[in-house]
Amino acid sequence: MSARAVWEEEPTVAGRLGKPVVLALIALAVAFPLYVVVVTSLSSTEAVTRAGGLVVVPRELTVAAYVQLLSGGVVTRALVISVAITVIGTAFSLGLTVLAAYGLSRPGSLFHRPLLFVVLLTFLFGPGIIPSYLVVNSLGLIDHYASLILPAAISAFNLIVMRSFFMGIPGELIDSARIDGAGEFAILRRIVLPLSKAVVAVVGLFYAVGYWNAFFNALLYINDNSKWPLQMVLRTYIVQQAPLPTGAGGVANVGLGLAPAPGLAIKMAIVVIAIVPVLLVYPFIQRHFQKGVIIGAVKG
Amino acid sequence: MTFRHRLRRDWPLLVMVLPVTVLLGVFHYFPTLGNVIAFQDYSPYAGIRGSEFIGFGNFQRMFAEPAFWQAVANTVTITAVQLVFFFPIPIALALLLNSVLSSKLRNLIQGVVYLPHFFSWVLVVSLFQQMIGGAGLLAQTLRDNGHQAIDLMTKPDTFILLVTAQSVWKDAGWGMIVFLAALSTISPELYESAAADGANRWRRLWHITLPGLRPVIVLLLILRLGDALTVGFEQFILQRSAVGGGAAEVLDTYVYYQGLLVGDFGYGAAAGLFKGVVGLVLVLVANRFAHMVGEQGVYSKS
C-alpha cells in the first residue's frame, strides 16, 4: 500500500506532524551513538581536548587511531582471531546445518522422527554453564580455539529454518532426480542447494554474526589473553576501562608519521572495528529477511 | 518395507545427520547428564565417579543462602519490569510503522531499527557507556554547562531501568518483525467495510487490528513467561562489577560467580539445575495455558 485508501480519513494534524518527529527520534536514537563513536575515533588530540571528551562536531579528522591499532599489537591480533573464528566457524556450522537439514527433510526416512526430536529437544532446556564447562575442560579444549566453535556450532533454530525451507521444495523434483539415479548427496548439491540460495545465505549470515559477536564462550573457555577474540578486548578496554597497553605487543605508538591519536579516539576506534563487519553484512541480511524467510519458517 | 530395506535406502541421510547428532550429543546432552554433580560434593580431581553423593545437600545450602534468593528476586523483578516496559514497545512500533504510507520510508526505518539486534552485548553496553556513563556524552554536556555530572551506568537503584532501556534499544525493532507480519495478514477489506459502517480509525484499531494481533501477542507473552528466569546473561555479567551484585546478580551470573569462579562446581550446578528445571516447568505450564485459552502455543502433540 503506497497511497492512502479512499475510505480512510484525512490524517489529523497531530498525526501529520507527530509521526515524522517520532520516526526521526527513533532513527536518531540508533544512529546518534554510532555517529559520535565514529567521529571521536577519527579525531585528533586537540579536537578531543577541545570537546572535553567525545566529539560531536567533526574537526581535523585523522585516521591515526586506526593506523596505530592495525599496525600490530593487541587489537590487530584479536581482529585476526575473530575474523578467522568467524570464517572457519561459519563454514563449519553452515556445512553441518545444510547436511542435517536435508537429512531430516525427507519424512518417512529411517529414524527421521527420533533424530528430529533430538534436535527439537535442545530448545526446551540448556545443559547449564558448569556441566558445559566441565565437558569442554575434560576434552582439553580450554584455551583452544576450537572451544569458540564446537560447543555452539549448531543452532537448532537455524537448522529448523533450513529444514522447513527444504521441505517446501517440490517432491517431484527430487523424485525425478532419484529415478535418474542420483544419490542423496548429488540431489542435495544439484537440486536442493541451487534452489535454496536465499535461506543458505540468511542462515550463513546469522551464524557469522553469532560468531563475530560471541563473547561468553571466550570468557568461559579462553584464559590466555593472547588468544582473545575482539569482543573480549572490547570488554576489557572499553567496558571495564582497563588501560590500553602501549609499546611492543600493545598498541603501536606511532604510524606513518602521523601524530599519535588520543586514548579516547583509540578506544572508539576499537568500537568501530567491532561494528564494521556487522554493518558490511547487514544489507545482505536485510534484503533476505524482508522476503520472509525467517518468519515463514518460524510459523511452520 | 523392512528395516534393512529402509537402511539401504536411507543410509546417506543418516550419514548427513550424524555430525550434528554427535555435536549435540557431546556439547548438549552429555553435559545435561553432567548435572548429576548438583547432587555431589564434586571435586575436579576425583571426577564424577570419585566424588561423593550428598543428596540434596547443595540445594539445602542454596535455599538457606540469602544471596541466592536475591538473585532469584532480581531475575523475576527484571522479567516483570521488562514485561511492562519492553513488551508493548514492539507492538506500538509495528502499528506506527504500518501506518507509514511510503514503502521507501518504511524500509529505511525498518533497516535502522533492526540493526542493533545484530550488535553484541559488549558493543551495546560500550555504546551506552559512551552516552550516559561517567565519562560519557551526557555527563560531559552537564559538566560543560556547570551542572553536576551523573553516571547512569553505575547506579544500583536505576539499574533495572538501564537494562530495560538497553534491551529496548537493542531488540525492540527486531521484536517488531513478528507483529508486522501479523498485521500484513489482516485483510484490508475488513478495514474498508468497517470504515463504510462508520468506524473511525480508533475503533478500527480496537475492533480489527488488535484482535488480529491477539494470537501473536498471547504466544509471545506465554513464551516470555516460560522464559521468566532467563533475562540475558552477557548483559548482566558485563555490568555486574559496575553496579554490584545487589542489583545485577541474576540466576545465570550467580551460577557463574558462585559456582565457576570460586570452583564450587557442585553448588553452581545445583543453582543451574534449579533454573533449568523451574524454567522447563514454566514453559510446559505456559504452553498448557496457551492451549487452554484456545491458542496454538509453542508446540502441540501431533
* Confidence grade of residue B300 (pLDDT, cut at 50, 70, 90): low
For residue B152, give the DSSP letter: T
* Confidence grade of residue A290 (pLDDT, cut at 50, 70, 90): low
Query: Would you state the pLDDT for residue A255?
Result: 53
Asked whether the beta carbons of residue A130 and residue B201 sit closer than 8 angstroms, the reply is no
Count Cβ–Cβ pairs < 8 Å, chain A vs chain B.
Answer: 264
* A28: closest chain B residue by CA: B112
Percent of chain A with pLDDT over 70: 91
Asked whether the beta carbons of residue A2 and residue B105 sit closer than 8 angstroms, the reply is no
Start-to-end C-alpha separation, chain A: 26
Distance CA B171, CA B164 (A): 10
Residue from the list A9, A133, A136 with its beta carbon closest to the beta carbon of B201:
A9
φ, ψ of residue A28 in degrees (nearest 5)? -65, -35
CATH fold for the domain made of A63-299: MetI-like fold (1.10.3720)
Percent of chain B with pLDDT over 70: 97
Smallest CA–CA separation between B34 and chain A, in Å? 5
Residue from the list A33, A124, A285 with its beta carbon closest to the beta carbon of B283:
A124
Distance CA A30, CA A206 (A): 21
Cell of A69: 591499532
Distance CA B34, CA B283 (A): 22
Q: Which residues of B touch A297 (CB under 8 A)?
A: none
Residue from the list B28, B35, B181 with its beta carbon closest to the beta carbon of A295:
B181
Q: Which of A14-18, A265-269, B232-236 has the lowest mean pLDDT?
A: A14-18
Closest CA to B58 of B222, B273, B251: B273
A246: β partners: A251
Amino acid (1-letter code) at residue A297: A
Distance CA B167, CA A265 (A): 27
Asked whether the beta carbons of residue A27 and residue B112 sit closer than 8 angstroms, the reply is yes
- Quickly list H helices, B86-144: 88-98, 103-114, 121-132, 137-144
* Confidence grade of residue B298 (pLDDT, cut at 50, 70, 90): low
Q: Which residues of B touch A41 (CB under 8 A)?
A: none
Give start-end residues of each CATH 1.10.3720.10 domain in chain A.
63-299
Distance CA A258, CA A63 (A): 9
Q: What sign does the CA torsion over B281, B233, B114, B165 have?
A: positive
Q: Which residues of B touch A99 (CB under 8 A)?
A: 16-17, 19-20
Instruction: Name the more confident of A129 and B135.
Output: A129
Query: Would you state the pLDDT for residue A257?
Result: 63
Which H or E element spans position B53? strand B52-53
pLDDT at B126 over 90: yes
State the ipTM, two decimals: 0.89
What rounded mean pLDDT belongs to chain A? 87
Asked whether the beta carbons of residue A30 and residue B196 sit closer than 8 angstroms, the reply is no
Q: Which residues of B touch A34 (CB under 8 A)?
A: 127
Query: Would you state the pLDDT for residue A250?
Result: 63
What rounded mean pLDDT belongs to chain B? 89
Asked whether the beta carbons of residue B13 and residue A240 sit closer than 8 angstroms, the reply is no
How large is the average pLDDT for residues B100-120? 89
Query: Would you state the pLDDT for residue A298?
Result: 44
B79: number of Cβ within 10 Å: 18
Write out pLDDT tens, residues A15-32: 788 888 999 999 999 999
**Non-local CB neighbours of A266 within 8 Å, separated by 6+ positions:** A41, A65, A68, A69, A244, A251
Query: Would you state the pLDDT for residue A300?
Result: 36
Smallest CA–CA separation between A3 and chain B, in Å? 6
Asked whether the beta carbons of residue A131 and residue B31 sit closer than 8 angstroms, the reply is yes
Write out pLDDT tens, residues B5-43: 889 888 999 999 999 999 999 999 999 999 999 999 998
Q: Which residues of B touch A10 (CB under 8 A)?
A: none
Residue-range domains of chain B with CATH: 66-292 (1.10.3720.10)
Write out pLDDT tens, residues B236-269: 999 998 998 888 999 999 999 999 999 999 999 9
Asked whether the beta carbons of residue B29 and residue A8 sit closer than 8 angstroms, the reply is no
Asked whether the beta carbons of residue A36 and residue B260 sit closer than 8 angstroms, the reply is no
Asked whether the beta carbons of residue A30 and residue B115 sit closer than 8 angstroms, the reply is yes
